[in-house]
């Protein structure tokens, strides 16, 4: 047997396959020089065979473990992560004796079928959208499921800068439908429903490829049988595990106003803060600059070192209006300009706060937008008339 006939594996994958740690952690161990092959420290990317002696910290790693494949009926509230410090993680929930990890994700508020394994080779072959392996869901929403809604969901929905692939959608009840996907975009079904104004009340995954939840109650799990794995292996035999299979959707047309309602680039957020498709035109920018002259004049006219000089700041004028003069032991108020309402004063306070924050933030943040909005309010504000004095009310005497 020649050297070419011996099956070789990358060192990080070889260590991961033994269940010692993940590939990323194996890379760190190799970089730190804690891994040896036949007594010698290897380089990154070195390949090994079953005949080589691989050791970590001087101790040989165990032989490859038997492949483990688990089907779990995940309950609501469990997080599909291997991070053990996160409360309610799926690894602690199952508490299996050897290292395993979930294949894909199922949102924390969702429930249903999910696979866990120690076989890294099969993960991408199942998950890649281009491999077109089916996942089936039962979804309950807050509005009546209409024919237009079902047709729209089936034909593709613009979310996350793409259009979802066509899928199978059928009505199961007035507020319930069944959907079969071959993709796995982030919160895909929830985003698709929100595009049509529907909110998901419950979401349950009932099937992955040829495996369903039959016989599994919520929170229960079981090992997949040899016959089930043989069928899965035949289904993924021609599947790709590379990025070429990550064809997540159709090309999204460049149309204005078509956005997901979730995330930082949603239509509502763009409209509220004035960016993206809702960014101001050059003409609007010029108009905004013209209307800001009043505010700029007010800001530049106030000189703290010259308090006695007149100023055009209506706020300081209002503050100086409460002067009193004494005439024949009676207190008489000077004529005062009208005071501003509490809402206008609060608007000024919000503006000052936003201005201070804007100095520490990059341009076009929400703080600068709030400042511009409050500025426009104050520029168009009209003073509210002072309430007339009522005969018999007490007046303050100047000490």
The whole-number average pLDDT for the span 134-161 is 93
Cα distance between residue 89 and residue 83, in whole Å? 7
pLDDT above 50: residue 241: yes
Q: Which helix (H) or strand (E) holds 122?
A: helix 120-127
Read off the pLDDT of residues 28-78 as tens digits, 9 standing for 90 and up: 999 898 999 988 898 888 888 878 888 999 888 876 667 889 999 999 999
Secondary structure of residue 378 in the 3-state scheme: helix
Of the candidates 40, 226, 23, 250, which has an alpha carbon nearest to the alpha carbon of residue 121? 23
Question: Percent of the chain beyond pLDDT 70?
Answer: 62
Who has greater pLDDT, 313 or 164? 164
Cα distance between residue 180 and residue 167, in whole Å? 6
Who has greater pLDDT, 303 or 79? 79
The token pair that represents 327 in the structure block: 């005439």
b/e 158-193 (16+ beta carbons within 10 angstroms → b): bbbebbbbebebeeeeebebebebbbbbebbbbbbb
Cα distance between residue 195 and residue 157, in whole Å? 7
Read off the pLDDT of residues 311-366 as tens digits, 9 standing for 90 and up: 445 444 444 444 444 444 444 444 444 456 666 777 777 778 777 776 665 555 66
Residue 78 has a pLDDT of 93
> CA of 183: how far to CAs of 111, 129, 218, 246, in Å?
18, 5, 24, 9
Read off the pLDDT of residues 83-98 as tens digits, 9 standing for 90 and up: 889 999 999 999 888 8
The whole-number average pLDDT for the span 107-117 is 93
Residue 89 has a pLDDT of 92
Residue 249 has a pLDDT of 59
Query: Which of these ranges, 208-212, 232-236, 273-277, has the smallest mean pLDDT?
Result: 273-277
Of the candidates 281, 279, 314, which has an alpha carbon nearest to the alpha carbon of residue 295? 314
Q: What's the mean per-residue pLDDT of the chain?
A: 75
Residue 312 has a pLDDT of 45
What positions carry a catalytic annotation? 107
Determine contact, residues 163/157, Cβ cutoff 8 Å. Answer: yes
Of the candidates 234, 232, 203, which has an alpha carbon nearest to the alpha carbon of residue 115? 232
pLDDT above 50: residue 309: no
Cα distance between residue 69 and residue 81, in whole Å? 16
Who has greater pLDDT, 332 or 398? 398
The whole-number average pLDDT for the span 233-250 is 63
- Inter-helix orientation angle 282-291/293-301, to 10°: 40
> CA of 243: how far to CAs of 12, 127, 228, 239, 247, in Å?
20, 11, 27, 12, 8
Would you say the pTM of this structure is higher than 0.85?
no
Read off the pLDDT of residues 49-59 as tens digits, 9 standing for 90 and up: 878 888 999 88
Residue 59 has a pLDDT of 87
């Amino acid at each position: 047997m020649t050297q070419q006939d011996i099956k070789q594996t990358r060192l990080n994958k070889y260590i991961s396959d033994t269940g010692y740690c993940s590939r990323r952690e194996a890379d760190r161990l190799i970089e730190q020089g804690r891994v040896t092959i036949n007594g010698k420290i290897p380089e990154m990317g070195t390949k090994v065979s079953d005949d080589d002696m691989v050791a970590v910290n001087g101790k040989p790693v165990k032989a490859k473990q038997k492949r483990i494949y688990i089907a779990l009926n995940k309950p609501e509230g469990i997080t599909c992560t291997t991070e053990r410090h996160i409360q309610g993680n799926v690894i602690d929930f199952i508490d299996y004796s050897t290292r395993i990890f979930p294949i894909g994700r199922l949102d924390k508020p969702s429930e249903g079928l999910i696979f866990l394994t120690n076989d890294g080779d099969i993960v991408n072959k199942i998950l890649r959208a281009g491999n077109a392996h089916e996942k089936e869901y039962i979804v309950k929403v807050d509005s009546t499921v209409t024919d237009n809604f079902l047709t729209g969901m089936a034909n593709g929905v613009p979310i996350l800068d793409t259009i979802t692939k066509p899928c199978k959608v059928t009505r199961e009840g007035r507020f319930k439908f069944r959907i079969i996907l071959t993709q796995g975009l982030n919160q895909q079904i929830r985003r698709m429903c929100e595009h049509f104004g529907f909110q998901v009340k419950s979401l349950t995954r009932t099937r992955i490829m040829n495996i369903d939840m039959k016989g599994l109650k919520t929170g229960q799990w079981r090992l997949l049988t040899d016959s089930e794995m043989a069928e899965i292996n035949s289904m993924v035999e021609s599947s790709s595990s590379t990025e070429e299979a990550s064809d997540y959707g159709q090309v999204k047309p460049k149309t204005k106003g078509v956005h997901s309602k979730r995330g930082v680039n949603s239509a509502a957020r763009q409209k509220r803060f004035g960016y993206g498709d809702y960014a101001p035109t050059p003409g609007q920018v010029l108009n905004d600059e013209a209307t800001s002259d009043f505010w700029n004049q007010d800001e530049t006219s106030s000189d703290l070192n010259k308090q006695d000089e007149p100023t055009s700041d209506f706020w300081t004028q209002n503050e100086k209006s409460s002067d009193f003069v004494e005439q024949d032991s009676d207190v008489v108020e000077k004529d005062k300009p009208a005071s501003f309402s509490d809402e206008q004063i609060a608007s000024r306070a919000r503006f000052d706060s936003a201005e201070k924050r804007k100095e520490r933030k990059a341009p076009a943040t929400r703080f600068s937008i709030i400042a511009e909005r409050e500025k426009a309010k104050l520029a168009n504000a009209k003073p509210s008339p002072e309430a007339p004095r009522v005969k018999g009310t007490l007046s303050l005497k100047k000490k």
